[in-house]
Amino acid sequence: MLPEGYAIRELALTDAAALAEAYRRNRTHLAPWEPARRESFFTDQGQTAAIVGQLAAVRSGILRAWLLFHDDTVVGRVNLNNIVLGVLRSGSLGYWVDAEHLGRGLARGAVEHVCQWALARGLHRVDAGTMPHNTASQRVLAACGFEPYGLAPGFLFIDGAWQDHRLYQRLLHDRPLDTAG
Ligand SMILES: CC(C)(COP(=O)(O)OP(=O)(O)OC[C@H]1O[C@@H](n2cnc3c(N)ncnc32)[C@H](O)[C@@H]1OP(=O)(O)O)[C@@H](O)C(=O)NCCC(=O)NCCS
């Protein structure tokens, strides 16, 4: 459940300008937690190109992407990346919330929304990695039933360096998988 006044919906090409505006507003806020970005990333054209690529990944089944809205303003996003079926049936979370909208349960609501989507689509597991000092993100994951299962040294190239990450997972169900045939 998102807090009152907020909505979540799937990413669309028509969101490019609002998303670029959100990235411009949150450039300093997000810099420590994201890969380095080219200047073009913060433009409407740059986000149009990025979304075209992301929607192709959605069509091929490896990605789902949602935006968080307050009225028509984009105030966050959540992705389920690297969706894998077979006997793994897993996806990896990535998310952020606008600096002016923190601490209201938006990230928790978004993560729960994605977990429910993943469960409904037959996934078994959702995982997430956070840098060891990202306490806010770790609290979000703990509140959503994720458990830590290890530390991955040099896991992601974030803010200009290969950063260690604490790994978390949530198992969505324990029903057996029909692997016969
Ligand atoms: C992590 C992030 C998404 C949280 O968004 P949010 O909407 O504020 O999250 P919520 O309101 O659902 O919950 C935030 C939790 O973190 C806690 N928190 C917030 N700032 C904190 C801080 N500096 N230190 C410790 N805890 C903090 C809040 O108290 C809350 O925990 P609680 O519910 O147990 O009290 C947001 O801070 C963000 O966008 N950070 C930058 C990008 C990022 O780190 N993305 C995740 C990468 S893994």
Domains recognised in the chain with CATH numbers: 6-171 (3.40.630.30)
Average pLDDT for the chain = 97
* Beta strands 90-97; 125-130: pairing state: parallel
Cβ atoms 134, 111 nearer than 8 A: no
Ligand 1 site residues (CB inside 6 A) read: 30, 33, 95-97, 102-108, 128, 130, 134-137, 139-140, 143
The rounded percent of the chain whose pLDDT value lies above 90 is 97
8-state DSSP, 96: E
Distance 149 CA to ligand 1 centre (A): 20
Rounded CA separation 22/43 (Å) = 10
Ligand 1 atom index nearest CA of 96: 39
Examine the pLDDT at 179 and tell me if it is beyond 90: no
- Phi/psi for 89 (5° steps) reads 50, 65
